Amino acid sequence: MSVIRTVCVFCGSSTGSSGCYPTGAQLLGSALADAGMDLVYGGSDVGLMGLVARTMLARSRRVTGIIPRALQEVTRPLDITELIIVDTMHERKAAMYERSDAFIALPGGIGTFEELLEAFTWSQLGYLKKPVAVLNINGYYDLLLQQLALSVRSGFMKQTHLDGLLVHDDPNELVGMLQSTDYAYHPKWQ
């Protein structure tokens, strides 16, 4: 069983239109802290990103932010354990992948979708041998999960790959799933 020490959280730079999203972000931060895990995230003080980071800092956990220079110049970084400034989004994700043992997507916009789907793709291909998870607050990811299931039914994805995506609507349960599930590579072309 792999030990999860550091989790990368992909999430919105907004808080969304419902109070359930900020609450879920804070509950996830608490669940990660209670499990003794540290955070890697997008490095900003805004939106769900800032809420997860502040929650973990308040619980005395290590918080590493990774932010492209252009975004760092227009957002306000938190006073976190470590802030890494990179030049591009590609460098940002590479640094996140290198420093994290697992990945969780909270609700967010197109950037969050892109981060989640890239990590999930890399996991499917065996480039990223770490668990990828979705905290499905208020059914936020239901339609994406339906699309992925359609991809399986249509013969574009294997069910074993979809089964590798950890999904739950409860932060504590999702963290428990991360702790009790080992990454398993299933070759795409066999």
Over the stretch 90-129, which tens digit does the pLDDT of each residue have?
Answer: 999 999 999 999 999 999 999 999 999 999 999 999 999 9
Q: Higher-confidence residue: 73 or 123?
A: 123
d(CA 134, CA 139): 11
Neighbours of 88 (CB within 10 A): 11
Q: What is the CATH number of domain 6-178?
A: 3.40.50.450
For residues 106, 52, 23, 168, the Cα torsion angle rounded to the nearest 10 degrees is 40
The whole-number pLDDT of residue 42 equals 93
Query: How confident is residue 77, by pLDDT bands cut at 50, 70 and 90?
Result: low
First vs last C-alpha separation in the chain: 25
* Domain residue extents for the chain: 6-178
How many percent of the chain have pLDDT more than 90? 85
d(CA 173, CA 13): 24
- pLDDT tens-digit series, residues 9-43: 999 999 999 999 999 999 999 999 999 999 999 99
pTM tops 0.85:
yes
Amino acid found at 28: L
The whole-number pLDDT of residue 1 equals 60
Strand positions, DSSP E, the chain: 6-10, 38-41, 63-68, 82-86, 102-105, 132-135, 165-168
- The CA–CA distances, whole Å, from 106 to 34, 51, 125, 154 equal 18, 12, 23, 27
Q: Which residue has 């490095």 as its token pair?
A: 43
d(CA 150, CA 64): 36
